[in-house]
Amino acid sequence: MNTTLNISSYKFVALPDAPEIQATLLARALALELKGTILLATEGINLFLAGPADAVRSFVDQLREDARFADMAPKESWSDHQPFKKMLVKVKGEIIRMNHPTIKPADGRAPSVDSATLQRWLAAGVDDSGRAVVMLDTRNDFEVDHGTFNGAIDWRITKFTEFPPALLAHQADLADKTVVSFCTGGIRCEKAAILMREVGLEHVYQLEGGILKYFEESDGSNYSGSCFVFDERRTLDAALLVAK
């Protein structure tokens, strides 16, 4: 029986006090007997937590008491076991490492596209302006191998820091197209979309909430395979259940 609630969420927001709130968040999570990982950096927060539903939602409610996190809306899925071994709260240089300091999502996001709109575009092959739509997978190669959007561009990167040079090498291939960047939960494709606009690509969107939100809000059409997640569940299907 799936009684363990799993959540993932992130927000790019200025956190100059990241080291100070580390201990507070760890104490709260341990008191609620949650397990998972929370990453903090001056650019924001990225979290993956699992436990009984009431405990997980209590943690989120407490987190939202800080105005900087008030609008966080975690993506939810369920499992029949605890997929994490321990509870960690880490302070890092970036919540998702890109090694490109000019990319600051907290200063302004690239435009996003929701699941329903993306489904319509993919069915038609063009966006609402009649421009060809291409999907750009910003994940690592081994993640892509478990599943991706049909026909998605995959540059076979092995870590996200390889995305900027890969973009420069393939930038001409994306000109005059509508490019939708995507990843597991939205965090990588958010930085990727900003970088693409920075280098001069005009028609760039990020998939709001990533693959997991797409699974939550759609029937999973136009996607083949499963979605790799970084816990003991390994991969989820379009119903957000452990893939068989």
**Confidence band, pLDDT 50/70/90 cuts, at residue 2:** confident
Is 189 marked active-site?
A: no
| Percentage, residues of the chain above pLDDT 90 | 97
Joined together, the tokens standing for residue 170 give: 């393939």
Given a cut of 90, whether residue 69 has pLDDT beyond it is yes
- Cβ-in-10-Å burial (0-12, 13-18, 19+) of 71 comes to exposed
Joined together, the tokens standing for residue 32 give: 């609620």
Joined together, the tokens standing for residue 172 give: 């001409």
Exposure string (b/e) for 158-173, b if CB count within 10 Å is 16 or more?
eebebbbeebeeeeee
Query: By the 8 A CB rule, do 206 and 180 touch?
Result: yes
51-74 mean pLDDT: 97
Per-residue pLDDT tens digits for 203-240: 999 999 999 999 999 999 999 999 999 999 999 999 99
Q: Which of 118, 122, 180, 183 is catalytic?
A: 183
Residue 50's closest CA among 3, 119, 111?
Answer: 3
Whether 244 is covered by a domain: the verdict is no
Please list, in sequence order, all residues whose beta carbon lies within 8 angstroms of the beta carbon of residue 4, skipping any fewer than 6 positions away.
50, 51, 52, 78, 79, 80, 81, 82, 83
Domain termination site, one of 91, 118, 137: 91
On whether both 152 and 82 belong to a single domain, the answer is: no
Per-residue pLDDT tens digits for 21-44: 999 999 999 999 999 999 999 999
On whether both 122 and 81 belong to a single domain, the answer is: no
On whether both 87 and 111 belong to a single domain, the answer is: no
46-59 mean pLDDT: 98
- Rg of the chain over Cα atoms, rounded to whole angstroms, equals 18
**For position 155, what pLDDT does the model report?**
98
Query: By the 8 A CB rule, do 166 and 157 touch?
Result: yes
Whether 208 is covered by a domain: the verdict is yes
CATH of the domain at 172: 3.40.250.10
Helix (H, G, I), strand (E, B) or coil at 85: coil
Query: By the 8 A CB rule, do 79 and 6 touch?
Result: yes
Per-residue pLDDT tens digits for 121-156: 999 999 999 999 999 999 999 999 999 999 999 999
Domain range for 34 is 4-91
Whether 33 is covered by a domain: the verdict is yes
Residue 147 and residue 227: Cα distance in Å, rounded?
Answer: 6
| φ/ψ of residue 53, rounded to 5 | -55, -45
**Confidence band, pLDDT 50/70/90 cuts, at residue 61:** very high
Query: Structurally, how many domains does the chain consist of?
Result: 2
Which amino acid, one-letter code, is at 153? I
Given a cut of 90, whether residue 1 has pLDDT beyond it is no
Given a cut of 90, whether residue 57 has pLDDT beyond it is yes
Residue 18's closest CA among 37, 36, 44?
Answer: 44
On whether both 207 and 232 belong to a single domain, the answer is: yes
Joined together, the tokens standing for residue 19 give: 């080291």
> Where are the strands (E) in 80-118, listed by range?
87-91, 112-113
Whether 98 is covered by a domain: the verdict is no
**Confidence band, pLDDT 50/70/90 cuts, at residue 53:** very high
CATH of the domain at 75: 3.30.70.100
Helix (H, G, I), strand (E, B) or coil at 48: strand
Domain termination site, one of 91, 119, 134: 91
On whether both 53 and 15 belong to a single domain, the answer is: yes
On whether both 39 and 13 belong to a single domain, the answer is: yes
On whether both 82 and 188 belong to a single domain, the answer is: no
On whether both 65 and 137 belong to a single domain, the answer is: no
Handedness of CA 209, 152, 38, 240 (dihedral sign): positive
Whether 136 is covered by a domain: the verdict is yes
Whether 96 is covered by a domain: the verdict is no
On whether both 138 and 181 belong to a single domain, the answer is: yes
Domain termination site, one of 44, 59, 91: 91
